[in-house]
Amino acid sequence: MRRLIGIFVIGLLSFVFAIAVGAQNFVPPTQLHLTYPPLQHTTTSDRLFFIGTAPKDGNVSINGKAISRTDKGHFAPSLPLQLGENNFAIKYVDSTGDRNSERQINIKVLRESRITMPPKDFGFVKESLLPTVDTARQPNERFCFDAIATPNSTVLVRIGDLEIPLLPRRRNIQLPPNSSVLTGNNEATAESPSGYFRGCTTFEKPSQLGQPEYEMRLGDRVVKQKAKGSLEILSPNNIQVAEITAIAADARTGASTDFSRITPLPKGTKAVVTGKQGDWLRLDYGGWVRKSMAKLEVAESPPPSIVRSINTKRVSNQNNLWTEVTIPLEVPAPLAITQGDRVFSFSLYNVTAQTDTISIDPESIINKLEWVQTDPNKVTYTISLKPKQQWGYKVRYQGSNLILSLKHPPLLTSTSDNSQPLQGVKILVDAGHGSSEDLGSRGPTGYPEKDVTLITSKLFQTELQNRGAMVIMTRTDDSDVLLEPRVDKINQEEPTLAISIHYNALPDNGDAINTSGMGSFWYNPQAEDFAKFINTYVVKKLNRADYGVYWNNLALIRPTTAPSVLLELGFMINPVEFEWIIDPQQQKLLAKTLADGVTEWILNAVK
């Protein structure tokens, strides 16, 4: 699971039956075979698909009911699940009815509730008592105490010198997981669970309040239990400043990786700590970062920095041209970046402008640079760009100077006969997954995604090289390459484009039989146009189904040094599309079509 961080589509399914061998050595099963689910499986889904294959001359049934199969013998039906234990028997009988040919696979599936249920006995669900980790908040900041306890009881919490009653929560809105967008089930549901309690209050004075103690009464029965975490109210006279020590700190909207990412903070950024929650720090501009990515010191609050002159210049490195924007500051400030159509904007927090002079290099890609003091401690800069396509950017602090680098379009040096139109272009191709440690998704026969991504990527590499491109591969064999070195490779190489090749799967409640097609994923707006273009291009040229284009928070498309996309070229779990995926002739055609699409997009984007 280590290489799946940030990914909820790629390799989402943990298939368990196929042998992890190279594609050239893969031997399809000759008898009844189940790829997914495992023999014992736990899920919160209300249905589940069963992916597998069996000899085509025969019949397959699940719990006595015949299921449909493709002409190759593959199957992928979705069946409903009841809460609790579900047992399934998959049975194969050949067309002659010979009992010696019968095969059966038994599967036990446990469907759990999406919400935590109240305890069956008298007491609390310990993990529900807030705070679950040590937490710090500002004076007069609202804090809510939650508990899941025996229904119809009376619940209160004692903390400091306060006694706070907790009232039953009559309705509990359950949001669907992010992956629900991919299965068309993206709707909130209203639950009415009994046993959910909440009480909120504020604390005026700074203090170490310690662990709150919860008390529950039902008749003459009483139970008390402390929360795992303690609560502190921070003092305005004891200010802590966090300085970012990571190259780029992963900033979030809340205190866990469940919350959305915002602009990473460059090394050296300083901000006042306004809250704490477990291993996370809340900074004064609103973002949260891990404690491990910063160092703390007790100090006076860094003064709002003054910003004056701004200059730009053209520089060259990594065989790329860049426009470098330098903004001198007194203190390295938090920032937030947005990209638009020919516009690059960023805001600096805890900053006040005294700007009178801006210098723009005529050889830069900047057409105009404007600024506005949007509030007393926030300055927003808007850069109008000459090129229609943005090709990448980097941000760093050099001392207290903010250095923003904007990549220029590639310089094409195609031959006179235009036989190699991509000369001067560097493209990074990432073959998804790899090795027995990371199979990715698998098809009905157990054939692993990691093998077909490598085949397609190598064919794609050859096609791009034939067009004159320099191609960087993250793997060329069945290596176990983790996500971090793949991302590092993109940042080190600073290619014109970064393309990660994958084949798709679905969450448990997906419809494997009726879901197919090409899908593209992007994160930074500079990659959106290419993601849309290449998806439409392949769909139309190869007459494939269109799964869609998605904004998604995936590790391989977060690098900012180049437009980076992840392509899901088809569904391994779809019994029909699987045969297209593993067809050698179709693989060659797909690679050529991808290269044609890349060429057409780049030639148009640099105009």
Q: Is the pLDDT of residue 332 over 60?
A: yes
* SS3 at position 473: strand
What's residue 189's pLDDT?
Answer: 79
240-298 placed in CATH 3.30.470.20: no
Q: How many Å apart are CA 220 and CA 236, to the nearest integer?
A: 44
What's residue 7's pLDDT?
Answer: 36
H or E stretch covering 197: strand 196-201
% of the chain beyond a pLDDT of 90: 85
% of the chain beyond a pLDDT of 70: 95
Q: Is the pLDDT of residue 20 over 90?
A: no
Is there a cis peptide before residue 131, judged by omega within 30 degrees of 0? yes
Domain 305-407 belongs to what topology? Immunoglobulin-like (2.60.40)
**Superfamily name with CATH number, domain 426-605:** Zn-dependent exopeptidases (3.40.630.40)
CB atoms within 10 A of CB 129: 23
pLDDT, tens digit (0-9, with 9 covering 90-100), for 124-176? 999 999 999 999 999 999 999 999 999 999 999 999 999 999 999 877 777 87
Are 119 and 149 in contact, with CB atoms under 8 Å apart?
yes
pLDDT, tens digit (0-9, with 9 covering 90-100), for 445-492? 999 999 999 999 999 999 999 999 999 999 999 999 999 999 999 999
Q: How many Å apart are CA 504 and CA 519, to the nearest integer?
A: 8
Are 245 and 289 in contact, with CB atoms under 8 Å apart?
no
pLDDT, tens digit (0-9, with 9 covering 90-100), for 199-227? 999 999 999 999 999 999 999 999 999 99
Q: Is the pLDDT of residue 418 over 70?
A: yes
What's residue 465's pLDDT?
Answer: 98
pLDDT bin (cut points 50, 70, 90) of residue 285 is: very high
Are 590 and 538 in contact, with CB atoms under 8 Å apart?
yes
pLDDT bin (cut points 50, 70, 90) of residue 416 is: low
Q: Is the pLDDT of residue 389 over 80?
A: yes
pTM: 0.92
29-111 placed in CATH 2.60.40.10: yes
**Would you list the domain boundaries of the chain?**
29-111, 126-233, 240-298, 305-407, 426-605
What's residue 362's pLDDT?
Answer: 95
- Which CATH code, of 3.30.930.10, 1.10.357.10, 2.60.40.10, 3.30.365.10, is assigned to 126-233? 2.60.40.10
What's residue 373's pLDDT?
Answer: 96
Query: Which residues are within 8 A (CB) of 263 and not within 5 positions of it... i.e. 6 or more apart?
Result: 251, 335, 336, 337, 346
Sign, CA dihedral 351-408-555-518, equals: positive
User: What does the pLDDT average to over 384-402?
Assistant: 97
What's residue 475's pLDDT?
Answer: 97
pLDDT bin (cut points 50, 70, 90) of residue 9 is: very low
User: What does the pLDDT average to over 241-268?
Assistant: 96
CATH topology identical between 240-298 and 305-407: no
pLDDT bin (cut points 50, 70, 90) of residue 249 is: very high
Q: Is the pLDDT of residue 108 over 60?
A: yes
User: What does the pLDDT average to over 80-86?
Assistant: 97
The packing angle between helices 584-605 and 528-542, to 10°, is 140
User: What does the pLDDT average to over 348-355?
Assistant: 95
Q: Is the pLDDT of residue 588 over 90?
A: yes
pLDDT, tens digit (0-9, with 9 covering 90-100), for 171-200? 777 787 888 888 877 887 777 678 999 999
User: What does the pLDDT average to over 95-122?
Assistant: 90
Are 471 and 429 in contact, with CB atoms under 8 Å apart?
yes
- Give exposure, 537-554, as e/b (b: 16+ Cβ within 10 Å): bbbeeeebeebebbebeb
Phi, psi of 519 (to 5 degrees): -135, 145
Average pLDDT over the chain, rounded to an integer:
92
